A and B are shown apart, each in its own frame.
Chain A
Amino acid sequence: MAIKGKSNTPLKLGLLLLLCPLLLWLVLLVILPQLTMLNISLQERVAPRIYEYGLSNYIEFFTEPLYWNTFLRTAVMSIIATILTLIIAFPISYYIAKMLRGRAKGLLLVLCLVPFWVSELVRTYGWMILLRESGVISSFLQYIGFTEGPIEFLYTDATIMLGLVYSSMLFMVVPLTSTLESLDDSYIEAGYDLGGNGLSVFWHIIVPHAKPAIVSGCIVVFMLTLGNYLTPILLGGKSSLWFTEQIFTQFITRFNWQQGSAFGVLLLSISSLIVWLGLKLSRQSFSKVMS
């Protein structure tokens, strides 16, 4: 026994050391901050500098229509953005994976990637330059005589949607392309040989094969849009109203960290719930989708 124990020790130590970075990262940067936030969110202000434990911050979210309306709006718009991204990204990925060969394939993937070499802020300002009333598109339309006065494209929900879809496109294209590449062409040919038409081949062969990639792409895009801050604020203007903005406002302009933390915890738990529902509905398991 003693000998066995001895020989085990270096192995365990080695394992522990190897695990160290991962554990440190998980505990210090993921779990601990979340727990701190949970703790702050459970405190309510009774008087200056005096706080007590209580649920009032959470009750506030459910009793004030303003807050859950904002959340609902954010969630619905994120779901729409996810679906739109999927619809646009699928043909692109299919084209890259199946129609192209060699250099053109690499080139197209790089073209998808290029916008991400600059930060999100710069990309969003790029859109603002294009879309604002005194911007490029409005001036061009006036120049060709399409319209008399300037047109404002910014500050609508459609603009927010445009920005969201644009900024999350890559996260759908990449998993889809790599999964579609792994689909053997002979399956598709066999489908046609057996009398299938384009639609049935698409529905019974391509989609089932790509399903894990579709779901994982959707999860990533949904979480990114839901947690996006810059795009809705800058492109949405006066009525943007995004839940992350509510959290920011609570922390920074209202100094109400307790309320902000409660919103943060709620955002995390409700969005996890939505993802879980999505997995159940598409009958996928999380481990399969993420592998």
Chain B
Amino acid sequence: MQISNCKSLIAVGFTLCITAQSVNAETLRLLTWGGYAPKTVVDMFKAETGIDVEVTKSNNEDMIAKLSATRGGGFDLAQPSQDRIASAQAEFNIYKPIDLSKIDKSLFVASMLDSTLQSSIYDGKSYGVPHIWGTSGLIVNSEKAADVKDYTDLCNDAYMGKVTYRLKRPTLIAFAFSMGLDPFAAYNDPAEYEKIMLKVQDKLISCKGNVKAYWSGGDAMKNLMRTDETVAAMAWDAGGWQLHDDNQAINFIAPTSGALGWIDAFVIPRKSKNESAAYKWINFVMQPKIAAMITDAAGNFTASKGADEFVNAPLRAKYQSSFDTASIDNIKWYPPVPAGLEMIEGKVLDRVKAAK
């Protein structure tokens, strides 16, 4: 009696598990950046396809760390920047090649699609398609730091303890350009690249007194700028435009040495359990109207063809106020990072952090 009870309990348990799984079967586990999968879009996607989207917010390093810990499992779709796809694939084998036949290419701006497919090639296969692009540059409070025009201006004595930037690779690259060096040209020459990085290291160490705090999350940076604890920052364009809404004096500017352009892509993790949902999501969010909704939420423009006209006017105006044609031409787009360079950068960042 007891045993049969037990058995039926187990049976009930199993059926529960199975039904629970079949209900959950249609989920898309998305590893992405904050704002890239706004709730309205997730709800529309669910209404159209019946697929639930589980959003996990992350950043470039965190995505690679999460996926390499599971050897490419745990998520069905991820969104690292395009320049860091091939190197991560080379090092950890965490992605699957993109199946272009499942993607509606007509939805993409052709030149951007080609560029991402090119830059995410590993071993002859492409691993990424583009989604959102933007730049990093300077966010400046024009009332308090009007003469900050380039990254190295952040180190002016006038701004002792009044600036903030991240302690990550974009900062190294930005300062190198601002110092008149060209790190991208040295990407394939590790020895030369290390020389450049050592110069940047000295600059950043001497500049350390100016730094209030190295920010790590966009919200921390916005807080510092809003409270006037800092007057200038190196950060993303969208953050600057959001701050501009609260305080007209603060805005994003393209530095004279050029803003750094990035493109966040879509990649399929190697152990994705729901690839078809992943492709459905890509084709769904690249529709012009949906893409415009994401632009409104994230503050950055997408690679969707024809989406710009649906984007609200204020955001377009802000974009134009930060970028004239010359500064758009001057944007430095990240080429794919060769494997190994990040080791050099890591050491430099550690030394800057440790310096007094």
Q: Which residues of A contact B (CB under 8 A)?
A: 48-49, 64, 66, 69-70, 132-134, 152, 155, 237-239, 241, 246, 249, 251-257
Contacts and interface: CB of A to CB of B under 8 A. Distances in A.
Interface string B343-354: 100110011011
Nearest to B161: A152
A249 B350 contact: yes
Contact of B227 (A134, A237, A238, A246): A134
Contact of B91 (A48, A66, A237): A48
Given A252-B65, A253-B346, A241 B91 contact: no
7 contacts: A49-B93, A134-B228, A238-B211, A238-B353, A239-B353, A239-B356, A256-B343
B249 interface: no
Interface centre among A48, A238, A239, by most B CB within 10 Å? A238
Nearest to B213: A237
A155 B213 contact: yes
Contacts of A64: 347
A66 B212 CA distance: 22
Interface of B: 61-62, 64-65, 68, 88, 90-93, 161, 168, 208, 211-214, 227-229, 339, 342-343, 346-347, 350-351, 353-354, 356
Given A49-B93, A253-B168, A254-B346, A238 B229 contact: no
A252 B64 CA distance: 8
A133 B354 contact: no
B25 to A, nearest CB: 30
Given A238-B208, A252-B65, A255-B65, A48 B339 contact: yes
Contacts, number: 63
Contact of B354 (A70, A132, A256): A70
Contacts of B62: 252
A238 B214 contact: yes
What is the interface of chain B mostly: helix, strand, loop, or mixed? helix
A197 to B, nearest CB: 46
Contacts of A257: 68
Contacts of A255: 61, 64-65, 68, 88, 91-92, 342
B84 to A, nearest CB: 10
A52 B64 CA distance: 22
Contacts of A133: 227, 229
A256 B356 contact: no
Nearest to B89: A48
B169 to A, nearest CB: 9
A263 to B, nearest CB: 12
Given A70-B354, A253-B168, 6 more contacts: A49-B90, A49-B93, A69-B354, A238-B213, A249-B346, A255-B88
Given A253-B61, A256-B346, A48 B211 contact: no
The 8 closest A-B pairs by CB, nearest first: A134-B227, A253-B61, A254-B346, A237-B213, A48-B90, A252-B65, A48-B91, A133-B229
